[in-house]
Amino acid sequence: MSPQALLVLALALAAPSLAQEGPVFHADVSQVHVDAEVVGPDGRILTGFSKSDFRVFDQGAEQAIVGFSAGEQPLDLILLFDISGSMQAVVDKVASAASQGLHELRPGDRVSVMVFNTRVRVVSGFTGDLDAVARTIQEDVLHLNFGGGTFIQKGVDEAALQFTHENRTERRRAVLIITDNNGMRTRREATVVRDYWEADALLSGLIVRNRAYQTVLDIQTAMSPETMWMHAGMKGIAEKTGGDSINSDDPGAGFQEMLHRIRSRYSLYYAMPPGKPGATRSVRVELTADARKRFPKARVRARHGYRVPAPASAAVE
C-alpha cells in the first residue's frame, strides 16, 4: 500500500474519535479531570457548549484542554440517605423521590447505597443491577428505623472515601445525598472537600423540606444564637466539589433533576502540571469571552481544586 493510501486509512480510522472530542486516557500521561456545568442567572442549566467555550486555570495559569466530552456519561453513583430522627416526618417524600428518581438511571450505571445518622454504613456495594438497587431502597432503606442525630459532614466524607476502594474508570463519580440538611458539625469542611478532590468525585444534594423541624430549629437558634456554629450542612462542600443542590417540595422531580444534572455535565481534561504528591492545587473554569457574549450572566460550576496523586496512582485505568 502506498504512503498516501496509508495516510488516508489512518485519518479515516481516527476521524470518529476526533469528532467526539472525547477524553483520551494514557497510562503514561497524568491528566486532571474536571466536570463542569453552566448555569444561567436563574439557576437554569445551559447547554450547547463546546470545548472552545471553556478556559481552565491551574494555580492561576491557563491550561490547554486536551480532552473534552459533552455527551452523557455512565455513572458511579453513591445514593446517600439521611435516616436521622429529623427525617422521620418526610419518609414518605423520600420513598416517592426514590421510586420516581431511579427512572433517570441508565444501563451502564453502577450504584451503591449508603445511609447515615450519627454513624455511616454501606447498605449495598456498587452494582449495575438497577432493579436490585430499587429493591434495596424500598425493602432495606425505607424500612429502617429513622432516628438519631444528623452527622452530614461525616456521612458525605465516608461516601467520598468509598471511592478509594474502586478502580478508576471513565464513569463519572458522584454522591447524591437525600437529606433535610439540618446537621451537626462533626468534621472540618476543608478535610471533606479534600477527600472529594482526591476521589475525583462531586457531591450533589436533594434537600427535602421538613418545615416542622425547621420551625423548631429556628426557635432554638433565636433563643440561643451562639449554638448556630454547631450546625452544618452540605451546600458549602458541594459547591467546592463542583456539585449543587435542590430544595424541593416535590422530591421525586427533584431526584430526577439532580441525576440529570450529574449525568449531563461537561468533562474537561488537561495535562497535570508538575507538583509534589499530596499537594493541593487550585482549579478555576470559566467561559471564554465569546461564550460570555452569548450568555453574559452565565457562570460555571466546577470543582475548586485537586490533590496531586502519588506516581503509582496518577494514571487513569
CATH of the domain at 120: 3.40.50.410
Q: Is 127 contained in some domain?
A: yes
Same domain, 113 and 167: yes
Same domain, 113 and 171: yes
Is 15 a residue whose pLDDT tops 50?
no
Q: What is the pLDDT of residue 1?
A: 46
Q: What is the pLDDT of residue 17?
A: 36
Q: What is the pLDDT of residue 224?
A: 52
Same domain, 67 and 104: no
Stronger pLDDT, 234 or 18, i.e. the higher one: 234
Average pLDDT over all residues of the chain: 83
Same domain, 147 and 271: no
Is 19 a residue whose pLDDT tops 60?
no
Same domain, 102 and 240: yes
Same domain, 86 and 120: yes
CATH number at residue 54: 2.60.40
Same domain, 140 and 207: yes
Is 11 a residue whose pLDDT tops 90?
no
Is 211 a residue whose pLDDT tops 90?
no
Same domain, 206 and 294: no
Q: What is the pLDDT of residues 38-74, one digit of tens each?
A: 999 988 899 999 999 999 999 999 999 999 998 778 9
Q: Is 26 contained in some domain?
A: yes
Q: Is 4 contained in some domain?
A: no
Q: Name the domain count of the chain.
A: 2
| Terminal C-alpha separation, the chain | 35
Rounded mean pLDDT, 188-202: 94
Same domain, 283 and 175: no
Is 4 a residue whose pLDDT tops 50?
no
Q: What is the pLDDT of residue 128?
A: 95
Q: Is 128 contained in some domain?
A: yes
Taking the C-alpha atoms of residue 303 and residue 306, their distance in angstroms, rounded to an integer, is 8
Stronger pLDDT, 216 or 43, i.e. the higher one: 43
Q: For the chain, what is the radius of gyration of the CA atoms?
A: 21
Q: Is 143 contained in some domain?
A: yes
Rounded mean pLDDT, 292-316: 83
Of 263, 287, 305, which residue sits at a domain end? 263
Q: What is the pLDDT of residues 221-279, one digit of tens each?
A: 455 544 444 566 889 999 999 999 988 777 778 888 898 899 889 999 999 999 999 89
Q: Is 247 contained in some domain?
A: yes
Same domain, 103 and 252: yes
pLDDT class of 23 with cuts at 50, 70, 90:
very low
Same domain, 215 and 272: no
Q: What is the pLDDT of residues 146-174, one digit of tens each?
A: 999 889 999 999 999 999 899 888 899 99
Same domain, 142 and 27: no
Q: What is the pLDDT of residue 79?
A: 95
Q: Is 6 contained in some domain?
A: no
Q: 246 is in which domain, residue-wise? A: 75-263
Q: Is 13 contained in some domain?
A: no
